[in-house]
Structures are given as C-alpha cells and as structure tokens.
Amino acid sequence: MSKMKPRTLSGFMELLPARQVQFDRMVEILRQSYSLYGFTPLDTPLIEASEVLLAKGGGETEKQIYRFTKGDTDLSLRFDLTVPLAKYVALNYGQLTFPFRRFQIGKVYRGERAQRGRFREFYQADIDVIGDGSLDLSNEAEVPAIIYKTFTALGLNRFRICVNNRKLLTGFYAMLNLAEQSGAIMRTVDKLAKIGPEKVKALLVEDCGVPEQDAEEILRFTGIGGSPAQVIAALEAYRGRNEIFDLGLDELQMVVGYLGAFGVPESHFAVDLTIARGLDYYTGTVYETIMLDHPEIGSICSGGRYDNLAEYYTDKKLPGVGISIGLTRLFFVLEDQNYLNEDLITAPADVLILPMTEDLSPSISFATTLREAGIRTQLHGEQKKFKQKLSYASKLSIPYAVFLGEDEVKSGQVTVKDLDTGEQITQTPEEAVRRIQEGLARRRIGTPIREPGSDTQN
C-alpha cells in the first residue's frame, strides 16, 4: 500500500510527550491561580456562526480568520476568547450573576504568515470580570496581583507589570488640543522603544501633524519615569487642566495604592505612560507584562479596562476588565530560552513494574496497590529481556522500577529500585509505597519555569 507522508501543519504546535507534560503543568497552575481569585472556568465552541463572531468586524485580523461554509452555514473559528465571551454574556445575561468572573484557557485560530515562534493555532489564557452597568475600580486594582501571583507560581520572577491609564492619555491629548489625532499619536508613541525619541518626534510632526512644541511636550510626558510614587508626583503637575485626566490620575493612584495590600512588590511594578493597547476598546487601566531579560518578545500578559464588552449584541452596558496570556507563544519562548525546569517529573508513570513470574497476578495486585495510593504505575508486560525493560524505564525517566520475582512473591515483598540513585531495596509493599511517595514528593518540589542562573533549587 502506498503511504501518505504524515505531517503536522506549519504554525501548529504539537509537542513530544515530556514537553506536553510541562505545558500541561503550566496550564494547571494557571487554572489554580485564576481559581484562587474567584474566576469560574468557561468553555465555548471553537466554531461560531460568522455573522455572530464577526459582528464587530474582525479588524486587522479579518483576513486571518478561518472562515468556511458547512452546508448552508457560514462558520468561523474563534480568533480570540473575548468575542465568544461577549456572545456568551449577552446570550446568557439573565442566567448569570454580575460581576461575572470567568477564566478560559483554550485554543484560538489566526492564519498569520508562518514564521518562527508565530502560531496559527495557539492557546490563550484569559480572565475577565464583567459588571452589569458598572464595575468598581477595585477590580482594576486587583489585576496586577493576579498577574504577579500567577507568574511567580509558574516560577517566573524576573518580570515587570507595567500599567497606564487610558484616561490620562485621553485627557493629556485633550489638553494639547490633539484629541482628534490621539489615535495616530498613540500608535507613533508606541514605537518609542523600537525607534527612539528623535524618530518618534519626527513622525509626530510629519505624519501626525503635531506642532513641534507639542511633540516635545508629548515626549516629555511619555518620558516621565521613576518609581510609581515619582510618576504620580510628576503627573500631579498636570492636574486641574482636564477632568478626564484628573479622573485617570485618581484611578492610577488607587491602583498603585492597593498594590502593597495585594502583595505586589514595587520591584515588579511600573507605571509606563507609553502603553496604550490599541485604540478604541480600552478606557481605563491598561496592563502589559515584560520579561526583564527578554523585552524583545514584547508583552506576555496584557489587557485592560473596557466599558462595553458586548455592544454588538446587546444594549446592556457591560463594563469589564481582563487580561490575556498568549500561552503557546510564551511556552515556545520559555523552551527556546531554556527556561523550562527539566528536573520535574515528565515521565508517563512514577513506577514501572517488571513482572518476573509467568503468572502476572502478583505484579498486577501490587500495581493496583500503588495506584490506590495515588502512584502512577505502569505494568511492563511485554515479552522483552530484563535489560530492555530497564532501558525503557530509563528512556522515559520513570523514577522507580519494581521487580517481582519468585523470591519476592514467596516472601511477600517487592524489590524497588530508585533509578536516579541506583539504590535497590527489597521491602514490604507498605514500606515500598511509603518510600516511593516520599521520593516523589521530593521530586515534585519546584516550578515549571526555572530562570537561568537562578540560585533557588526549584
């Protein structure tokens, strides 16, 4: 029979088993972390009716969308988790209780040009809090804490959460009578880190039609730096000239003020007045998160406050605040940069049992005992030589091997070999279970991410 060459589509991440375990461990920590903050899990279809999914228009992503017909129905794969959330909330409005806090970790699809580290199918890990009519600022203040706790739970420490407030920008550009150009200006200012202030200034003047004096003022403003307290002090100098600006400053002060109580150290936080996060959607606090040692990969967790989640579906005003982690891309970077902790168990089993008697019953019984103690156990029943079976365990990095021969069966004992240390002990099943459990507990200490050069033994 002629064979079809197997392949996986370009831009689709498909991991080998050990890597998949590492990925899943990160997902599990995200689930736990989001759950600790009172977010409920949600799962929505990958496919939606195109007219529903694209009600708002796909914007820049429209041509990237996987859109097709099945029968007479025009369908699209979701390209983010926000539009399906808007649909869900509008559709189930009467059955939800607000504020509605949900997390969703799922795949989304964008037919981007394939390039290294860019994916067409990728996981997003989102949280959103949706209010009915109004939503208190305390929700915006809580977000940096969630970001901080989530990344430290993963084992990432060298990162910084950067916030800004869109009202500050809106108000500031209004002060300069540049409200109309503010979109173009923000897009230009966004290039600061890439092209530097001189070029930004030139673009502001030439492309955005900003008077030279105002361009300098904009650069002075967006260049305000220092500790959060210093930034706020500098911003106070602008107070009283625009109501929206003043409101934004009050909001920023409150967000910064609660950081301590939320357990976010100042070392991991900065106010960055250059952050805008798109044009129309966000209306209050906005967030970006950068890896200190890899600023070039951009923000690994972003989001912000918005006023209208579902305006394309409902007249209800549904303000919210949310953040999103691009998990597939983050995992790619972590792997690429050698940040994945290779010491944690990635084996499919904790114990491999090597039956050495014709009758497998004693081995099966002990496997059952181990599993009942929560120990992941594989029975190696293949007709292979002893050495091959041991090599199987070591190839898969299975921590323990158990040998059950006639001697063990007669004496009611088992022989357990720690494949890491080579230590081999014949002991009672109860002793074996305890020893294995203790060993596994030791090997489970640590986080999925381990930063290069970190001193800690995690």
- Closer residue to a second copy in complex, CB, 103/172: 103
Number of residues that bind a second copy (CB under 8 A): 104
- Closer residue to a second copy in complex, CB, 165/378: 378
- Closer residue to a second copy in complex, CB, 314/454: 314
Q: Tell me how far, at minimum, the Cβ of 198 lies from a second copy, in Å.
A: 40
- Closer residue to a second copy in complex, CB, 131/171: 131
Q: Tell me how far, at minimum, the Cβ of 231 lies from a second copy, in Å.
A: 21
Contacting range for a second copy; rule: CB under 8 A; set: 141-149, 157-165, 283-291, 293-301: 141-149
Binding to a second copy, residues 293-332 (CB under 8 A): 310-315
**Which of residues 30, 78, 101, 322 is near a second copy by CB under 8 A?**
101
Secondary element (H or E) of residue 414: strand 414-418
Structure tokens at 344: 């944690």
- Closer residue to a second copy in complex, CB, 174/360: 360
Secondary element (H or E) of residue 75: strand 73-77
**Which of residues 139, 285, 324, 447 is near a second copy by CB under 8 A?**
139
Binding to a second copy, residues 144-183 (CB under 8 A): 145, 149
Q: Tell me how far, at minimum, the Cβ of 75 lies from a second copy, in Å.
A: 8
Q: Tell me how far, at minimum, the Cβ of 88 lies from a second copy, in Å.
A: 7
Structure tokens at 402: 């158990």
**Which of residues 111, 183, 197, 446 is near a second copy by CB under 8 A?**
111
Q: Cβ distance 310 to 320 under 8 Å?
A: no
Structure tokens at 211: 């008077």
Q: Cβ distance 447 to 341 under 8 Å?
A: yes
Q: Is 97 in the site for a second copy (CB under 8 A)?
A: yes
For residues 277 and 190, what is the distance between their CA atoms, to the nearest angstrom?
Answer: 9
What proportions of the chain, in percent to the nearest 5, are helix, strand and coil? 40, 20, 40
Please enumerate, as own/partner, the contacts of 30-34 that have beta carbons within 8 Å and a separation of 24 or more: 30/103, 30/105, 30/125, 30/150, 30/154, 30/325, 30/327, 31/103, 31/105, 32/153, 33/146, 33/149, 33/150, 33/153, 34/103, 34/125, 34/127, 34/146, 34/150
Q: Is 35 in the site for a second copy (CB under 8 A)?
A: yes
Q: Is 455 exposed, middle or buried (0-12, 13-18, 19+ CB in 10 A)?
A: exposed
Q: Tell me how far, at minimum, the Cβ of 203 lies from a second copy, in Å.
A: 33
- DSSP assignment of 192-251 equals HHHHHHHHHHHHHHHTT---HHHHHHHHHHHT--SSHHHHHHHHHTTTTS-HHHHHHHHH
Q: Cβ distance 121 to 109 under 8 Å?
A: yes
Q: Is 348 in the site for a second copy (CB under 8 A)?
A: yes
- The angle that helices 138-154 and 17-36 make with each other, rounded to 10 degrees, is 150
Q: Tell me how far, at minimum, the Cβ of 66 lies from a second copy, in Å.
A: 6
Binding to a second copy, residues 225-254 (CB under 8 A): none
Q: Tell me how far, at minimum, the Cβ of 12 lies from a second copy, in Å.
A: 4
Q: Tell me how far, at minimum, the Cβ of 40 lies from a second copy, in Å.
A: 4
Integer-rounded Cα Rg, in Å, for the chain is: 27
Binding to a second copy, residues 392-421 (CB under 8 A): 392, 395-396
**Which of residues 267, 381, 406, 425 is near a second copy by CB under 8 A?**
381
Q: Tell me how far, at minimum, the Cβ of 111 lies from a second copy, in Å.
A: 5
- Closer residue to a second copy in complex, CB, 137/234: 137
Structure tokens at 373: 């103690």
Binding to a second copy, residues 257-286 (CB under 8 A): 258, 260-263
- Closer residue to a second copy in complex, CB, 111/298: 111
Q: Tell me how far, at minimum, the Cβ of 243 lies from a second copy, in Å.
A: 20
Contacting range for a second copy; rule: CB under 8 A; set: 1-9, 165-173, 438-446, 448-456: 1-9
| Angle (nearest 5°) at CA 249 between 248 and 254 | 100
Q: Is 441 in the site for a second copy (CB under 8 A)?
A: no
Neighbour tally for 244: CB within 10 Å: 20
Contacting range for a second copy; rule: CB under 8 A; set: 44-52, 176-184, 200-208, 274-282: 44-52
Q: Tell me how far, at minimum, the Cβ of 87 lies from a second copy, in Å.
A: 4
Q: Of 181, 167, 168, which is closest to residue 307 (Cα–Cα)? A: 167
**Which of residues 41, 209, 223, 265 is near a second copy by CB under 8 A?**
41
Q: Is 223 in the site for a second copy (CB under 8 A)?
A: no
For residues 127 and 265, what is the distance between their CA atoms, to the nearest angstrom?
Answer: 22
Contacting range for a second copy; rule: CB under 8 A; set: 180-188, 195-203, 346-354, 427-435: 346-354
Structure tokens at 392: 């199987």
**DSSP three-state, residue 155:** coil
Q: Is 357 in the site for a second copy (CB under 8 A)?
A: no
Contacting range for a second copy; rule: CB under 8 A; set: 135-143, 204-212, 269-277, 409-417: 135-143
Q: Assess whether the previous peptide bond of 99 is cis (omega < 30° from 0).
A: yes
For residues 281 and 124, what is the distance between their CA atoms, to the nearest angstrom?
Answer: 19
